[in-house]
Amino acid sequence: DSADFDDEVESVCPFCGVGCQISLKVKDGKVKYVDGINGPANEGRLCVKGRFGFDYIHHDHRLTKPLIRRADAPAKGLNVDPGNWQEFFREASWDEALDFAASGLKDIGGTGVAGFGSAKCTNEEAYLFQKMIRQGFGHNNVDHCTRLCHASSVAALMENVGSGAVTATFNEIENADVAIVIGANPVENHPVAATYFKQFTKRGGKLIVMDPRGVGLRRFAYQMLQFRPGTDVSMLNAIMNVIVEEGLFDQQYIDAYTENWEAEKEHLRDFTPEKMAEVCGIEADVLRDVARTFAGAKAGMIFWGMGVSQHIHGTDNSRCLISLALMTGQVGRPGAGLHPLRGQNNVQGASDAGLIPMFLPDYQPVGDDGVRSAFTDVWKSGDFSAQKGLTVTEIMDAVHDGDIRGMYVLGENPAMSDPDVEHARDALAKLDHLVVQDIFITETANYADVILPASAFAEKSGTVTNTNRQVQMGRPAVPPPGEAREDWWIEVELAKRLGLGWTYESPADVFAEMKLNMKSLDNITWERLEAENAVTYPSLSPEDPGQPIVFGDGFPRPEGRARFTPASIIAPDDVPDAEYPMILTTGRQLEHWHTGSMTRRATVLDAVEPEANCSLHPATLRKLGVAPGGRVRLTTKRGSIEIMARMDRAVSPDMVFLPFAYVEAAANILTNPAVDPYGKIPEFKFSAVKVEAV
């Protein structure tokens, strides 16, 4: 009841890319309760994370004062007990901490400094962060966790469609009659989106689920294709082969809106369902049925997640999905479209805001002189490098090579999230100057020279953009604890000390500047967002709530044509052998979020899932002689962890599924740093692993 609370503030859930709108109920200066409200993506719904995952913001581990590493502190990287940090750090005033942070970065200067921003920050914070690295250090060595998430999907979409964002909102599934969900587990990772997918099947829609794990949506599926890990291209090419051979493609659409069709058609001839069935493990008849069903759809959508993107052939996987949609004409109409389900609440917005090494805001290439000068005109500063910057994993290599000596990390946790994480941790330990801005002493902050206490989502103003291209307004419900500050304020104060002369007084000022060089924000103003909570881009007029479907009449590519880019089979990098005979795949689970720094400090979520775990098939457990709940050792060429094993029939007998939220059994000690050549995304979804009873 409203009378029970002092205040109710409308904002956006901080977890997944669905971007559910919420009402934060405040009593005695604390958020006590969260309810769903009528946002365009959630219509009042929330999942367990959105509803119960908020009290980390009041956790007593919150950073409340700037900290500077003590001269006599033990070695960098040792675990800093949040209750006993005094051994490692001393408190400092904001002036001292900011002066120290800025002077350390300035002394190193130029390409010796790199920045990791975050998809957990707002659009304005992401924009300021990339601007600081480009304007302050003259180069593009700035990246964020899109590199570990959908970078390969974006590479394929940019190449073939001309835009990295979704062509249709996920809610458009209500106008579809067939939908494919591949390499995604929305029931756990995009739970509110999953409710729309389930409703679609209840209305008679045919859901085709494709995943090496029997993910939760299988219970609603018309067809569940549990294919061998890493064989996506063979399976998708076989489906497209059937469409070609049986003449099920949409020639009119292909002629009007695409290029390179003949090459694609020719390429697909070899990929017969019979041949590919042996590779992907799905029967030829099933592949034929899926091809006929999708090609025969009045309106079909394709959704995908990190099971598609986190491979060394992640870009090829996405190219196949794009080709499938193009050859069947399933783009640009109600109920038709391509939708990579974004992971973090603002990974779309942080990428749009230019927090990536190859693009300025709105995916404008850094190598284009006109683009750079449009930004330097607004920034009133000199030019910066036309060269693409280094990506997340390349930055860590450059630290090892001694080329990068200083880093500014805002809200990222590479000491947990990077593949082959010991390599990343060694790099962090080598840095001469590491500035970490966060709300907790994260595993990355264990290596920091200075820690700047930042704000949680419920303590700040700013916009975020969800998987649907919906720009939404986040509002503060409570003040940051102690001397913690809003992230945009910290960035501005740091930039002033780098001599950049920034004068922003609010996130609204930053948003106004973003609009000057971001056409995607045309007709979207701060005032509109304050009044309407959400506007979808593109918005065609000040009254238009935004376009849920784009590319109905051509694509933002030469001659308005999308492109078919044929994809061939590339084996995973780290294939099983006699010593490492099984396949390790990593991911999230419903209750925990990414590296766990927030959800493991959320009382309800931690109570439900308190312990690091992996999932194994019953036959595998029997063979190992391990009972469900017993412990196993997982070993790859990179390292070894011990962990509790759960029994799960959804995992095939040659696979281990491992969530990556648990520091005590960090999944990324095991994962392979080999990357996709286009998106530069690591192959988190496939490593050869040995499993032993402990």
Shortest CB 569 distance to ligand SF4, Å: 34
Q: Is 191 in the site for ligand SF4 (CB under 6 A)?
A: yes
Output 86 or 199, the one with its CB closest to ligand SF4. Answer: 199
What tokens were used for 281? 């493990």
Place of tokens 């000068």: 373
User: How far apart, in whole angstroms, are the C-alpha atoms of residue 75 and residue 446?
Assistant: 9
424 lines the binding site for ligand SF4 (CB under 6 A): no
Instruction: Work out the end-to-end distance of the chain between its first and last CA atoms, rounded to an integer number of angstroms.
Output: 51
User: Of these, 39, 40, 50, 419, which contacts ligand SF4 (CB under 6 A)?
Assistant: 50
**How near is the Cβ of 199 to ligand SF4 at its closest, in Å?**
15
**Sign for the pseudo-dihedral over CA of 228, 231, 233, 234:** negative
- For residue 121, the minimal CB distance to ligand SF4 (Å) is 16
Residue 224, interface with ligand SF4 (CB under 6 A)? no
Report the residue number, 18 or 450, with the smaller CB distance to ligand SF4. 18
The answer to the question of residue 151 lying near ligand SF4 (CB under 6 A) is: no
Residue (344 or 636) nearer to ligand SF4, CB: 344
Do the strands 470-474 and 534-536 form a parallel or antiparallel pair, or are they unpaired?
A: antiparallel
d(CA 401, CA 19): 39
50 or 307, CB closer to ligand SF4?
50
Of 190 and 288, which CB lies nearer to ligand SF4 in the complex structure? 190
Please tell me whether residue 25 binds ligand SF4 under the rule CB under 6 A.
Answer: no
**Could you identify the residue written with the tokens 């970490």?**
436
DSSP letter assigned to residue 311: S
Q: Which of 26, 133, 192, 549 binds ligand SF4 (CB under 6 A)?
A: 192
List residues bridging with 646 in a β-sheet: 615
In sequence order, the β-bridge partners of residue 452 are 437
Q: How far apart, in whole angstroms, are the C-alpha atoms of residue 414 and residue 22?
A: 29
In the complex, which residue's CB is closest to ligand SF4? 50
Residue (128 or 477) nearer to ligand SF4, CB: 477
At 544, is the secondary structure helix, strand, or coil? coil
For residue 352, the minimal CB distance to ligand SF4 (Å) is: 18
Q: How far is the CB of 320 from ligand SF4 (least distance, A)?
A: 27
Residue where the block lists tokens 């009841």: 1
Answer yes or no whether residue 46 interacts with ligand SF4 by CB under 6 A: yes
User: Is 418 or 459 the residue whose CB approaches ligand SF4 more closely?
Assistant: 459
Rounded distance between C-alpha atoms, residue 113 and residue 133, angstroms = 8
Please state whether 501 falls in left (phi above 0), alpha (psi between -120 and 50) or beta: left
Q: Where are the alpha helices (DSSP H) in 533-647?
A: 603-608, 618-624
Q: Which of 11, 15, 539, 615 binds ligand SF4 (CB under 6 A)?
A: 15
101 binds ligand SF4 (CB under 6 A): no
Q: Is 409 in the site for ligand SF4 (CB under 6 A)?
A: no
Nearer to ligand SF4 by Cβ, of 51 and 106: the residue is: 51
Which of 24, 26, 31, 47 is in the footprint of ligand SF4 by CB under 6 A? 47
Instruction: Decide whether 118 or 258 has the Cβ nearer to ligand SF4.
Output: 118
Query: Counting contacts by CB under 6 A, is residue 18 touching ligand SF4?
Result: yes
DSSP string spanning 145-175? GGGGTTHHHHHHHHHHTS-SS-SB-GGGGGG
Q: Are 24 and 55 in contact (CB under 8 A)?
A: no
**DSSP state for residue 599 in the 8-state scheme:** G
The residue count for binding ligand SF4 (CB under 6 A) is 14
Residue 488, helix vs strand vs coil: helix
Asked whether position 662 contacts ligand SF4 by CB under 6 A, the answer is no
192 vs 242, beta carbon nearer ligand SF4: 192
H-helix or E-strand spanning residue 287: helix 284-295
For position 480 contacting ligand SF4 by CB under 6 A, the verdict is no
The closest of 306, 146, 152 to 678, measured between CA atoms, is: 152
Q: Looking at 9-17, 25-33, 300-308, 650-658, which segment touches ligand SF4 (CB under 6 A)?
A: 9-17
DSSP state of 335: T
Binding site for ligand SF4 (CB under 6 A): 13, 15-16, 18-20, 42, 46-47, 49-50, 190-192
